[in-house]
Chains A and B, each alone.
Chain A
C-alpha cells in the first residue's frame, strides 16, 4: 500500500518458519545458515510478501511471534454487500454466486457503483414512478445504452436477470425447455421430410430462430446443461448414491445399504466400466461451433465504429460473459460481496482476531495486535535547527527549509534521521539495532546508526513516571546540547528512545572517472528509493506467566522473572534520492 515517507515496514519471517525442521535436509539447513548471515534485502522479490506496516500485523501470545496476513488462517464469519451493507446468509452466497442480489451494481465501464434513477415523464407520471434505469454517476453510462429499463426501483437484480440487452425478455428455464423440445421435434420432422424430399429443397418454412443470430451464451449453457443431465440419467437409471432419492425405506436406500454390506463381488460388479458418454453433437445439445461469420461481423464492426466501441481488457474481465466484445454487450456488474473474517495463528490455531459478527459493528471480540507487543519504530528527518552544521549544510537550501523533503534526498550529502523506538511493553527493553553499512540494491547508500545499543523505558502509567525518580540519568540525551555524538542516544522519554542515524545517499549515476563503467546499466523503477533494512533485537525480563508455561509447571509462580528475547527485520523507507 502506498504510504508517504517516511514509513516503517516489519518483516514477518513466517516463510522460513513454515518449513518444519524435521523435513529439512542438511543442504537446506546449510543454506539457511547462509541466510542467517545475509541481511534482509527489501528489493528481493520475496520481500514484497514479507513486509507489512505494523498496523496490519497480529501477535500470537502463545508462539510469541508476529503474525502477518500470510501466517494466519482466516475464517469467514459472514458475507455482506459493501454497498447496501446487507448480510447475506452463507447458503445464499453459494447459490447466488457471491454477488449482491438486490439493487447494487457496478458500472461496466468505469466500475463505480451505479444508482437507480427514475426517468419518469413528468407530463405522464406512472403509478410506480418509473420507468427506472441503472445509471453511473461517474462516467454517465446507463442501461439505456443497452436498451434496458426497469419497472420498479427495487429488486433490480431480479428484473435485470429477466431482460437481455435490447430489452428482449430472457426466457425462463421452463420456456427454454419447451423451446428445446419444440425445436427437437421440428428438426426431427425436418430430417424426416428431407428424407422424403430431395436435399436441394431445403425447408422453406425455416424456423425463425435458425435465421436469427447465434444462440446466446445462456442458451448454449442451458442446452448443454440439459444434454448432460439427460446423458447422466441415461447412464445411471437409478443411481443408488443419487442425492435425490434417499428417502427412508425407498428402494434406492435399501440397495445402497445392501451395497455397503454386501460382498466385494457385488461391488466389483457395480464398478463395471461405464460406457463412455457421448459429447454434445448439435447446437441443441449445447455444442458451440466456431464460425467465421461472427468474427467477420466483429471485424466489420470495428472497421465501422472504431476501437471506441470495443471493450478494454479490464471491462471484459469484469463481465460475466467472457465473449463480450462490444459496448452494447455490457451488462451491469452485480456488486461482489465482502466478508468479515476472524484470524487464527497458523501454527497453534489460537484466535488472534475476531470481529463482532454484526455488519454495522466495528468492534472486535478478540484482537491481539503486534502494536501492543513489539516496539513501534519510526523515523523522521532530524529537525534541522537542532542539527549541527555539517560542512555542506549551508549550501543545501533544501535542508534549511522547514519541511523536509523526503522525496528529494541529495546524493552524497550526509543526512541525519531520527530513529525512535516506542515500547508498548510493561518492562524495560534493551534494544540492539543493526544495519548493513550500505543499503542493498544498485544505489549504495551508506548508513550508520550512531547509537546501536540502548534501553527503552517501560510503558508504565504516566503517573508512575511522574512519581518515580528512577529515570536513568547516566545516559544524558544529546538532544539537549544539540550535538550529534556517536554512542549517545538523541533523546528519551517515558517509554521511548530516539537515536540518530546518519545516511549518505548514493549516487543515481556513477560518477564518471571512478572506474564504475560496468555499472552503467539502466536504473529500474524505485531504484532511487532509499529503504534501509534495520535488524532489531530486543531483550527484556518479564514476569513468567504460569498460564503460558503450561499446566503442571510450578516454576511460574508470581514474581519470578524470565528472560525473553525477540528479533525481527524492519525496513525503513527514508525517502527518494533526487535525480541530479
Chain B
C-alpha cells in the first residue's frame, strides 16, 4: 500500500472519508480496526500506525452478556494525526499478567509528524510537535503544548496549561491565556501554527485544518 507506484495510481484521492467526516489516509497502517473509534472529522495521515490489535484482553463483564469488542484506541473529534506517527496502547503487568490498556485521545489534538505515542490519555486542545515520544501511561491534560523532539517519560502527568520540552520532558512554561483562541479572526488569520499557511492556531479548533486536508 505504501509503494509510491500505488500512490500515483490511486484515483480516489489520498483520504477515505467516513460518514462522520473522518479522513483516513489510504496509506495509513491500521491494525485491529475493530478496536479503534474515531470521533468524527478526525484525520489519520499517511504512514500513521494505529495498533488497534493490541487491545485489552481482560474479560469485561458486560451487562448484556454478549461479547463486546474491546476498544484499544479512541480518538475524539477534529484531531489530526500527522504522517509517520505511531499510536500504540500502553501495556504493563498487573496481577501477574501483561495487559494492554485502552488509550484515549481527546478533541482538537494535533499530533505532529513522526511521533510515537503510548500515553494512556491525552485530553483536548493539545498540540504535540514533531518527533515527540510519549512513553507508556503518561497523562496529558488539556491545553498543553509539547515542543518538538520532547521525550515524555513513562507515567508522567502533565497538568493543563503547561508547555513541556526536553529530554526527559519537564515543564518549561505555561501557555498564554490566549491559547487556542483565534480572537474572532477564525478563518482570517494566517495562523501561528508551524507552516504559517494554515488558518488555525495551535491548541485551537482544528476544524479549519481538517477541512483543508484533502
Q: Which residues of A contact B (CB under 8 A)?
A: 1-8, 52-58, 80, 82-85, 110-113, 115, 122, 136-139, 338, 343, 353, 362, 364, 367, 369-372, 376, 378-381, 403, 418, 420, 422-424, 459, 493-496
- 16 residue pairs of the A-B complex, CB under 8 angstroms, read A2-B165, A7-B192, A54-B178, A54-B192, A55-B176, A55-B179, A57-B176, A57-B178, A110-B168, A137-B155, A138-B154, A338-B171, A362-B141, A370-B178, A372-B184, A495-B185
Known contacts A55-B179, A110-B168, A112-B156; is-contact A362 B184 (Cβ 8 Å): no
**A112 near B153 (CB under 8 angstroms)?**
yes
Distance in angstroms from A138 CB to nearest chain B CB is 4
**A493 near B181 (CB under 8 angstroms)?**
no
**A493 near B184 (CB under 8 angstroms)?**
no
Q: B172-184: contact bitstring with A at CB < 8 Å (1 yes, 0 no)? A: 1101111101111
Known contacts A362-B142, A362-B143, A403-B195; is-contact A85 B188 (Cβ 8 Å): no
Distance in angstroms from B12 CB to nearest chain A CB is 22
Known contacts A55-B177, A57-B176; is-contact A379 B190 (Cβ 8 Å): yes
Q: A2-B165, A110-B168, A376-B185 are in contact. List 12 more A-B contacts (CB 8 A).
A: A56-B177, A112-B153, A138-B151, A138-B153, A138-B168, A362-B142, A362-B160, A369-B181, A372-B181, A376-B189, A420-B190, A422-B189
**B155 near A113 (CB under 8 angstroms)?**
yes
Among A111, A113, A139, contact of B157 (Cβ-Cβ < 8 Å): A113
**B175 near A55 (CB under 8 angstroms)?**
yes
Complex formed: what's the CA distance from A376 to B197 in Å? 14
Which residues of chain B are within 8 angstroms of A4 by Cβ–Cβ distance? 194
Which residues of chain B are within 8 angstroms of A137 by Cβ–Cβ distance? 135, 153-155
Distance in angstroms from A330 CB to nearest chain B CB is 16
Distance in angstroms from B83 CB to nearest chain A CB is 13
Among B177, B185, B194, contact of A422 (Cβ-Cβ < 8 Å): B185
Q: B209 at interface (Cβ–Cβ under 8 A)?
A: no
Nearest A residue (CB) for B162: A82
Known contacts A362-B160, A496-B188; is-contact A56 B183 (Cβ 8 Å): no
Nearest B residue (CB) for A84: B157
Among B135, B142, B147, B177, contact of A367 (Cβ-Cβ < 8 Å): B177
Distance in angstroms from B185 CB to nearest chain A CB is 4
**A82 near B171 (CB under 8 angstroms)?**
yes
Nearest B residue (CB) for A425: B184
**B168 near A112 (CB under 8 angstroms)?**
yes
**B178 near A2 (CB under 8 angstroms)?**
no
**A378 near B181 (CB under 8 angstroms)?**
no
**A53 near B196 (CB under 8 angstroms)?**
no
Distance in angstroms from A192 CB to nearest chain B CB is 57
**A111 near B178 (CB under 8 angstroms)?**
no
Complex formed: what's the CA distance from A56 to B191 in Å? 15
Complex formed: what's the CA distance from A338 to B159 in Å? 9
Which residues of chain B are within 8 angstroms of A138 by Cβ–Cβ distance? 135, 151, 153-154, 168
Known contacts A422-B189, A424-B184; is-contact A112 B161 (Cβ 8 Å): no
Complex formed: what's the CA distance from A112 to B165 in Å? 12
Q: B163 at interface (Cβ–Cβ under 8 A)?
A: yes
**B192 near A53 (CB under 8 angstroms)?**
yes
Known contacts A53-B192, A137-B154; is-contact A111 B163 (Cβ 8 Å): no
Which residues of chain B are within 8 angstroms of A343 by Cβ–Cβ distance? 177
**A369 near B178 (CB under 8 angstroms)?**
yes
**B184 near A459 (CB under 8 angstroms)?**
yes
Q: B169 at interface (Cβ–Cβ under 8 A)?
A: yes
**B157 near A6 (CB under 8 angstroms)?**
no
Which residues of chain B are within 8 angstroms of A418 by Cβ–Cβ distance? 190
**B190 near A113 (CB under 8 angstroms)?**
no
Q: B104 at interface (Cβ–Cβ under 8 A)?
A: no
Distance in angstroms from B212 CB to nearest chain A CB is 14
**A496 near B162 (CB under 8 angstroms)?**
no
Among B159, B171, B181, contact of A371 (Cβ-Cβ < 8 Å): B181
**B176 near A56 (CB under 8 angstroms)?**
yes
Among B156, B173, B197, contact of A113 (Cβ-Cβ < 8 Å): B156
Distance in angstroms from B154 CB to nearest chain A CB is 4
Q: B170 at interface (Cβ–Cβ under 8 A)?
A: yes
